[in-house]
Amino acid sequence: MLMLKQHFSANTQGHLVIGGADAVELAERFGTPLYVVDEQRVRENYQRFYRAFAERWSSVLVCYALKANFNLAICKILQGEGAGADVSSGNELRNALGVGIPGNRMVFNGNYKSLPELELAITNNVLINVDSLQELEAIEGLASRLGKRARIGLRVNPDVKTPTHPYIATGLRDSKFGFDVASGQAIEAYKLASRMQNIEVVGIHSHIGSQILDVGPFEEAAKKLMALVAEVKKLNINLKFVDLGGGIGIPYKPDDPELKPEEVAEHIVSVVKRVVEEKNLARPTLVFEPGRYIVADSGVLLARVGYTKKRPDMPTWIAVDAGMNALIRPALYGAYHHIELANKIREKNEQLVNVAGPLCESGDFLGKERKLPAAEPGDLAVIFDVGAYGLVMSSQHTAQPRPAMVLVNRGKAEIIRKRECYEDLTRLDQIPGWLK
Ligand SMILES: Cc1ncc(COP(=O)(O)O)c(C=O)c1O
């Protein structure tokens, strides 16, 4: 057994306990593969993140990044905590509205926002972080037609290097996101936007990447953004919202460092304070868009062991009923997720194993060269830290229905996303008349 994170425990039967519920009983009651989310952990993570900044700066808006997990129950928990929303599609925007998050506490991000999505955002007074000049013109045209003023910020590319997987590094100069700062494009875009009739320029935005465990890049981005805020003020544009995006990582491996939100807040707020005082700026609202930090470690995936295959001098293969269809991060980014046996949580991890899913690709694994207790058919594998970018990135590869998701809180458990069934797989298919 490893050192479990503090919100987990083991009971006298040697079973993993999450949110007061026995993981083995959850798997029996709801079936596998099963996502389980601990409500209290989501609340604690949000509160810790919010407090870290709110204790250091008077005006803070934490917009939960729905892309990490847009399930309605999760959104509802965060709405109850007072979170705003970072949405990256019209449908995420609808989810946020649906649970009662007002449009003026939302930011809308992305490099491709369709006209109907932009219309929805403008109508609901959502702050749109604009990614290109053509998008800016589209918003001006739409707002004029709707007889509204659209609230916008500009997403800028601060050219900050982040120590993370290249697929989720987004702040480098050659990334597809944002207006280039170094060449002056960002300033030119502010000039243009400020002359538009139906646009209210209120913010600046950057998101440098995801799963970052070092405070340095956040501090560098804050410095570059605040320098730009001061430049923009010379044009008589006072930016009320400084949005530093999301990206705070979590320790996935037992020996990964932890990046404390308090440390990030300390560094960022001291940069903001200094520039505000030196340049005599109005105090902006600081906006953050954490996704992973809020929900990742609140979730586990339970998967049933079907077969094991011993091989001489090589790790034993363990086949479980969840693979890259249910959790794609290991296959897509080589991401590490810790794995244990939930029904043998107190036993020693002595067997070298590879844990694989049921799909027809060699990329279909959840973990390689791991140590587990001797595994047998019927054991229950638990994959940790899957609350973010887990179920939302799942697929129906090899006609596997997507798993169910259950919310647990102090021993109570209820389904928050039903398991797909065969009919769900074929519901949208049609056979053309000429084939009948
Ligand atoms: C614009 C933006 N904001 C916030 C996030 C959330 O990032 P994280 O989950 O790493 O906090 C992302 C993630 O891709 C993003 O693209």
- For 75-112, how does the pLDDT look when each residue is reduced to its tens digit (9 = 90+)? 999 999 999 999 999 999 999 999 999 999 999 999 99
Whether residue 272 is found in the same domain as residue 143? yes
Would 95 be classed as within a structural domain? no
- What residues make up the domain containing 408? 8-38+296-426
Model confidence at 1: pLDDT above 60: no
Give yes or no for a contact between 401 and 425, defined as CB atoms under 8 angstroms apart: yes
d(CA 352, CA 367): 11
Distance 112 CA to ligand 1 centre (A): 15
Residue 360 annotated in active site: yes
Whether residue 225 is found in the same domain as residue 269? yes
**Pocket-testing residue among 67, 294, 295, ligand 1, by greatest number of atoms within 8 A of Cβ:** 67
Give yes or no for a contact between 314 and 304, defined as CB atoms under 8 angstroms apart: no
Residue of 63, 75, 360, 421 with catalytic role: 360
**pLDDT at residue 292, as a whole number:** 98
Whether residue 336 is found in the same domain as residue 269? no
* Average pLDDT of the segment spanning 32-49: 98
- Cα 411-415-418 angle, rounded to 5 deg: 160
Distance 109 CA to ligand 1 centre (A): 9
CATH of the domain at 284: 3.20.20.10
Whether residue 377 is found in the same domain as residue 406? yes
CATH of the domain at 387: 2.40.37.10
* Average pLDDT of the segment spanning 162-189: 82
Whether residue 208 is found in the same domain as residue 263? yes
Whether residue 215 is found in the same domain as residue 269? yes
**pLDDT at residue 159, as a whole number:** 80
Q: Taking the model in full, what pTM does it have? A: 0.97
Strands 34-38 and 285-288: unpaired
Whether residue 113 is found in the same domain as residue 191? yes
The verdict on the CB of residue 65 being under 6 Å from ligand 1 is: yes
- For 86-96, how does the pLDDT look when each residue is reduced to its tens digit (9 = 90+)? 999 999 999 99
**H or E segment to which residue 303 belongs:** strand 299-311
Whether residue 240 is found in the same domain as residue 315? no
Give yes or no for a contact between 226 and 176, defined as CB atoms under 8 angstroms apart: no
**pLDDT at residue 165, as a whole number:** 76
